[in-house]
Structure 1
Amino acid sequence: MDHAAVLALYDREMREGARPDDPGARIERAGGVVRQVADELGWNGVLWSGLDAAGADRAVREQIAYFTGLGRDFEWKLYAHDAPADLGARLLAAGFRAEPAETLMIAETAALALGTPPPAGVRLVAATDPAGVELAVRVHEKAFGTDGAPLRHRLLARLAADRGTVVAVVALAGAEPVGAARLELVPGTPFAGLWGGGTVESWRGRGVYRALVAHRARVAAAHGCRYLQVDASAMSRPVLERLGFHPLGSTTPWCYEN
């Protein structure tokens, strides 16, 4: 893989040329940034910026004024290669708070080993209705310790609007949900995204996460997606590297709260 070329393609297709990730969201381009605007439970934030040192502080102030005017908390999704080089320090000075950095990882779907099965006693089921979504939300809340309401909102909205662009899957041990994840397809681009992969603590290290990645990769391959992208935590990065994903840089969510 030509890392520089793929990173440039990712920036162009998935950030600068972003599509809304929620039926009720919209993409706006203003003041040197590309941002998504959604309701209170959707994702609001800056996806891409083309800034220089002279205009960066003004652009940051403009985005704060815009989102706070809507009554929205929002996120500035900053990548290590974004300019200016000190944009993170500028966000900090403007009142943003940094979440833990993640690794942008991308794999060519055709190069991945797709045959990884779930561990014994576990089966993977599609979450295609409200009951399935609730199982995925239960895993999310147990695995990450955060409120599952935004995920519930997003999955139900996507499934109602267009089942073809999101694939949610739950790992069940008997009737108990022990892992969950989703695949987001982006029609018109060569990319698909792996999101929300989580395993409850008692089942970690048994291969549930690997099986969820392989399952989603098979679905992406069946849809003709050339690349799979994931923002990997420190916990998931080693697993993804062993599966064939390449680290292309880091990304930090900078959060601004009203």
Structure 2
Amino acid sequence: MNEDAALLTAYDAQLRGAAEVAGSLSSDRSGPLWRGIFATSGFVSYESLDGVADVDALIAQTVAYFAALPQVEEFEWKTRGHDRPADLGARLEAHGLVPEEVETVMVGDARALAVNVDLPPGVVVRRVDDLPEREAVVTEAARMQREVFGRGPTAAEVLDRLDRSAGLETFWVAEADGRVVSAGRLARVEDTEFAGLWGGATLPEWRGRGIYRALTAARARAAVAGGVRYLHSDCSAMSRPILERSGLLAVTTSTPYVWHR
């Protein structure tokens, strides 16, 4: 088995299914699916749909399940590029789910990213979720991330998730003159060898200066210190070259299909 295939096998076995709904307020299982509730949204995960006799019936049952929960405004069925059946995306669209941007799933040795990166003068990187001023900093960072991405969790949702993670998730920022210019989370996945790099965003005027790479490296060093073997990230075309230069490999793609009430 080559390196790409070995990493994908580890990813499927350790990060899909129960692991993807571990931070939810509640979750249950229906056949091969794990269904999680996160405040006003839902999430569907599975390791494989192999052996499912009627995929369309499974999708219809899932839509009906979330539609019957009045607090759920939307739910995400996250597909991967190597999922079967090959026309799964078309089947989801036929049931009213809308595809969002395709991202690349990157996986690799955490040590490959745990390097020292020079920062521009006046820029500092630090973990803030364990500091007294965390609410103000996370609020500023969450607002910045929503501006960059056009969507994303509110500061209250981020803070609640950090509290419920019991230390498995940490929040990191890069600041220039006290202003947050880049931010991202490190989320260790309990009972696995993995941690995830999530929410990485940098203000447009601060890009191209090595700040995102330094933020990534700081999170990687923390992951290695905590015994993590692999890092993974669903990344955009902008982030992919940085992670590739650090040694992570593209193992598949991910596409969220979203149902809106």
Alignment correspondent of 2:216: 213
State the aligned residue count.
Answer: 253
Instruction: Return the offset for 1:145.
Output: 2.6
Q: Secondary structure at the match of 1:249?
A: strand
Q: Secondary structure at the match of 2:105?
A: strand
**Structure 1 moving runs of 4+ over 6 Å:** none
Structure 2 portions without partners, runs of 5+: none
Please list the CA deviations of residues 175-221 of structure 1 after superposition, one character each: whole Å capped at 9, or x if unmatched: 21110000001121000000000001111111111111101000000
Q: Does 1:166 align with 2:169?
A: yes
Q: In the alignment, is the contact (CA less than 8 A) between 2:182 and 2:212 conserved in 1? A: yes
Q: 1:160 to 1:112 in 2, by over 3 A?
A: closer
**1:22-171 equivalence runs, <5 A:** 22=23, 25-40=25-40, 44-48=42-46, 49-51=48-50, 54-71=53-70, 72=72, 73-128=74-129, 129-146=134-151, 148-149=153-154, 152-171=155-174
- Tell me if the contact between 1:112 and 1:244 (Cα under 8 Å) persists in the aligned partners: yes
- Which aligned pairs between 1:211-250 and structure 2 lie closer than 5 A? 211-250=214-253
Letter of the 1:30 counterpart? S
**Contact 1:18/1:27, CA 8 A, preserved across alignment:** no
1:190 partnered with 2:193: yes
Pairwise CA RMSD of aligned residues?
Answer: 1.8
Unpaired stretches in structure 1, ≥5 consecutive residues: none
Classify the secondary structure of the residue corresponding to 1:59. helix
SS in structure 2 opposite 1:18? Answer: helix
Identity of aligned residues (%): 41
Classify 1:27/1:8 alpha carbon distance in 2 versus 1 (closer, same or farther; 3 Å).
farther
Normalised by the length of structure 1, the TM-score is: 0.91
Matched to 2:135, the amino acid is: P
Rounded Cα–Cα distance in structure 2 between residues aligned with 1:241 and 1:64: 37
Residue matched to 1:178? 181
